[in-house]
Amino acid sequence: MNEREIESRVAELLSSLPEYVMLAAAAKTRTPQEVQAAVRGGVKIVGYNYVQEAERMYEVIGNQVKWHMIGHLQRNKAKHAVELFDMIETIDSVRLAEAVDRRCANIGKVMPVLIEINSGREANKSGVMPEEVEALVKEISPLKHMRVQGLMTMGPFFDDPEKTRPYLKATKELFDRLSEAQIENVQMRYLSMGMSDTYEIAIEEGANIVRIGTRLFGERPY
């Protein structure tokens, strides 16, 4: 897909989203030209799965956008992640939260984070199991250099996007339960759910961040 097509796809998608929904462009494997075209089209948030790839793109794009970590973060990458990202959407353990907090303390930063939920209970995916999320949030809420601000989920992949709905609905129920729990230092503001084929269903189920790649950029070149 050429740059002009990417620009117009982004603009079209943004105009179709409700005002309260934020678009994170999932930019894994994309070229600097493609990401720049998306930014010209109106993208304000760029999401990356890998720290090193994001660092390379940051050298090109810089502070024109906010940077979200949307892939599994290894603890040994926390130092570089906190220097680059404006939000980490994939906290799923106390040890990872503590590593992020410690690295943020070193640079005087408070990092907004989301807790990643393994809503499909899939053995090959990261994320905390739904029944364990409240205990995790309570344990990490006293950390001074990060703030839990919501939840994120991928949900299982189905050929029929409608089949993801129960997993998205269940994650929204967790989000509401944590909101009602009024845990100190925790502000449930963001629910990041839905990708290119499921984002409309995710918005119906309460998402206010959608992570979209293929619909903006075309199929990934593998």
Domain assignment present for residue 93? The answer is yes
CATH number at residue 80: 3.20.20.10
pLDDT grade for 222, boundaries at 50, 70 and 90: low
Domain assignment present for residue 138? The answer is yes
**What's the total number of domains in the chain?**
1
- Residue 53 is predicted with a pLDDT of 96
Give the range of the structural domain holding residue 196, as residue numbers without chain letter: 3-217
- Residue 221 is predicted with a pLDDT of 64
- Residue 213 is predicted with a pLDDT of 97
**Is the pLDDT score of 140 beyond 90?**
yes
Stated as kind and residue range, the H or E segment containing 168 is helix 165-181
Give me the DSSP letters along 59-128: HHHGGGSEEEE-SPPPGGGHHHHHHH-SEEEEE-SHHHHHHHHHHHHHHT--EEEEEEE-TT--TTS-SB
- Residue 220 is predicted with a pLDDT of 75
| Mean pLDDT along residues 167-184 | 97
| Mean pLDDT along residues 129-143 | 98
Mean pLDDT score of the chain = 97
Domain assignment present for residue 100? The answer is yes
Domain assignment present for residue 222? The answer is no
| Mean pLDDT along residues 162-170 | 97
Which residue has better confidence, 219 or 153?
Answer: 153
Domain assignment present for residue 48? The answer is yes
pLDDT grade for 1, boundaries at 50, 70 and 90: confident
Quick check: 212 and 26 in contact, CB under 8 A?
yes
